[in-house]
């Protein structure tokens, strides 16, 4: 699958789900889309939270029912958190890209020869996850539309969800005695599960044991879970794809580290210049390509956020190590650099390695060739 098509697919899916405004809309169209996204997300993602929480108060003494409701409601609780995190992370990416003075998310052959290959690896990995998730989607849809058709017997007039649970006695079917005799022995009462329950216990605005209310409620509950699953899938995939493109040259994770290494190379004592200069020379297209080939094979949709935070922590530790080895020279040098010069350092990753080496040598007063290790006095 082409990279641009892959990006378009997730943008289109999130547009349908109400999380990604289509490009090119404005004015009245944008207002209509906002109304649509509010209604859609409320109906399928947020409305069930209130019904599920209210349902817990009615089944708190039935551990099996509580466990079932927890399993089904977990998806809705998770997607509410995921939507907030997705918006926060995309906003942060826009801020970082604005600081880098770039808004290009798609691959660019001119920036790095290995960038399209890196993105292609990320695309293939994400497509593999999509195949698994959409296989589950087929099962959910089959359960949604087919399962309600196979009922053991026609549902009776008595509504299990409208009868107090203490009135359901052990060994007696709820249809075998009139409602006025249900209070016979409340002390020994034990809940009896209905023969055709909905996926999970919640409040509905009609008799849930009669057609067509039963089928509508069943389809509504399973479809809401399916929509939540699609939100999680497409948010994670689109975010993973965008970040893999943005960091194809380690622009985000390695930019500040590269700046510190260059300052340390220029300011550290001359007997240690080789160690830090070596760190700068190892940054080339081969290293970038191999690093992200390894990353694309290891990163999963569930662990990507954790690995991102770990990468920032590792970069911070290396910065502290370089700072400690160089004393206060980095801090002194940093105070001399203006904000504009610092911002320019963020976009310096595409400079040829030879030019950066020559600049480093000139700042240290060394010869211009690397084959000689003597220091010019």
Domain count, the chain: 2
Query: How far apart (Å, rounded) are the C-alpha atoms in residues 211 and 15?
Result: 34
Does residue 14 sit in the same domain as residue 86?
yes
Does residue 11 sit in the same domain as residue 111?
yes
Residue 108 lies inside a defined structural domain of this protein: yes
* Residue 19 confidence (pLDDT): 77
* Residue 80 confidence (pLDDT): 74
Residue 161 lies inside a defined structural domain of this protein: no
pLDDT class for 107, splitting at 50, 70, 90?
A: very low
Please give the model's pTM, rounded to 2 decimal places. 0.45
Residue 101 lies inside a defined structural domain of this protein: yes
Q: Other C-beta atoms within 10 Å of 341: how many?
A: 9
Does residue 321 sit in the same domain as residue 279?
yes
Of residues 266 and 205, the one with the higher pLDDT is 205
Query: How far apart (Å, rounded) are the C-alpha atoms in residues 49 and 43?
Result: 10
* Residue 27 confidence (pLDDT): 78
Residue 170 lies inside a defined structural domain of this protein: no
Q: State pLDDT tens for residues 79-88.
A: 777 777 777 7
Does residue 200 sit in the same domain as residue 234?
yes
Please state the rounded mean pLDDT for residues 2-26.
72
Does residue 42 sit in the same domain as residue 119?
yes
Does residue 235 sit in the same domain as residue 254?
no
Phi-psi region of 133 (alpha: psi -120 to 50; beta: other; left: phi over 0): alpha
Residue 185 lies inside a defined structural domain of this protein: no
pLDDT class for 160, splitting at 50, 70, 90?
A: very low
Does residue 77 sit in the same domain as residue 225?
yes
Q: State pLDDT tens for residues 324-371.
A: 555 444 444 444 443 444 444 444 444 444 455 555 556 555 444 444
Q: 55, 201 in Cβ contact below 8 A? A: yes
Query: How far apart (Å, rounded) are the C-alpha atoms in residues 211 and 151?
Result: 11
* Residue 15 confidence (pLDDT): 81
Q: Of 220, 245, 270, at which residue does a domain stop?
A: 245
Q: Of 206, 228, 245, at which residue does a domain stop?
A: 245
* Structural domain span for residue 338: 249-364
What is the chain's mean pLDDT, rounded?
57
Residue 40 lies inside a defined structural domain of this protein: yes
Does residue 201 sit in the same domain as residue 348?
no
Of residues 277 and 224, the one with the higher pLDDT is 224
Does residue 77 sit in the same domain as residue 125?
yes
Q: State pLDDT tens for residues 303-336.
A: 444 454 455 445 445 544 554 555 444 444 444 4
What is the percent of the chain where pLDDT is above 70?
Answer: 21
Does residue 255 sit in the same domain as residue 106?
no
Does residue 263 sit in the same domain as residue 204?
no
Helices 213-246 and 63-99, interaxial angle, to 10°? Answer: 30
Residue 166 lies inside a defined structural domain of this protein: no
pLDDT class for 153, splitting at 50, 70, 90?
A: very low
* Residue 132 confidence (pLDDT): 61
Residue 205 lies inside a defined structural domain of this protein: yes
Q: State pLDDT tens for residues 240-295.
A: 666 665 554 444 444 444 454 455 455 545 544 454 455 455 545 555 555 555 44
Does residue 202 sit in the same domain as residue 333?
no
Q: Of 204, 228, 245, at which residue does a domain stop?
A: 245
For residues 229, 234, 240 and 241, what is the CA-based torsion angle, rounded to 10 degrees?
A: 160
């Amino acid at each position: 699958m082409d990279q641009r098509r892959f990006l378009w697919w997730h943008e289109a899916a999130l547009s349908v789900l109400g999380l990604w405004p289509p490009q090119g809309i404005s004015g009245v169209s944008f207002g209509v889309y906002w109304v649509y996204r509010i209604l859609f997300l409320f109906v399928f993602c947020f409305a069930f939270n209130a019904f599920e929480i209210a349902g817990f108060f009615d089944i708190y003494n039935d551990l099996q029912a509580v466990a079932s409701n927890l399993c089904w409601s977990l998806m809705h609780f998770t997607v509410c958190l995921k939507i907030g995190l997705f918006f926060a992370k995309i906003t942060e990416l826009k801020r970082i890209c604005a600081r880098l003075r770039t808004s290009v998310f798609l691959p660019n052959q001119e920036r790095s020869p290995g960038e399209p290959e890196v993105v292609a690896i990320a695309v293939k990995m994400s497509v593999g996850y999509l195949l698994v998730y959409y296989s589950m989607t087929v099962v959910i849809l089959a359960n949604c539309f087919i399962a309600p058709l196979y009922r053991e017997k026609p549902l009776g007039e008595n509504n299990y969800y409208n009868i107090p649970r203490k009135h359901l006695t052990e060994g007696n079917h709820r249809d075998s005695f009139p409602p006025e005799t249900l209070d016979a022995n409340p002390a020994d009462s034990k809940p009896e599960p209905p023969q055709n329950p909905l996926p999970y216990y919640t409040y509905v605005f009609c008799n849930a044991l009669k057609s067509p209310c039963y089928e509508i409620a069943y389809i509504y509950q399973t479809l809401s879970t399916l929509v939540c699953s699609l939100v999680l899938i497409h948010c994670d995939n689109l975010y993973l794809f965008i970040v893999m493109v943005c960091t194809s040259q380690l622009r985000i994770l390695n930019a500040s580290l590269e700046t510190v290494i260059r300052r340390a190379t220029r300011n550290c004592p001359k007997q240690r210049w080789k160690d830090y200069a070596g760190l700068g020379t190892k940054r080339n297209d081969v290293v970038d390509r191999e690093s992200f080939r390894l990353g694309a094979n290891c990163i999963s949709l569930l662990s990507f956020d954790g690995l991102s935070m770990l990468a920032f922590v590792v970069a911070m530790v290396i910065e502290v190590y370089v700072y400690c080895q160089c004393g206060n020279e980095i801090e002194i040098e940093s105070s001399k650099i203006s904000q504009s010069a610092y911002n320019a350092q963020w976009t310096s990753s595409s400079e040829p390695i030879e030019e950066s080496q020559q600049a480093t040598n000139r700042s240290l007063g060394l010869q211009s060739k690397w084959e000689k290790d003597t220091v010019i006095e």
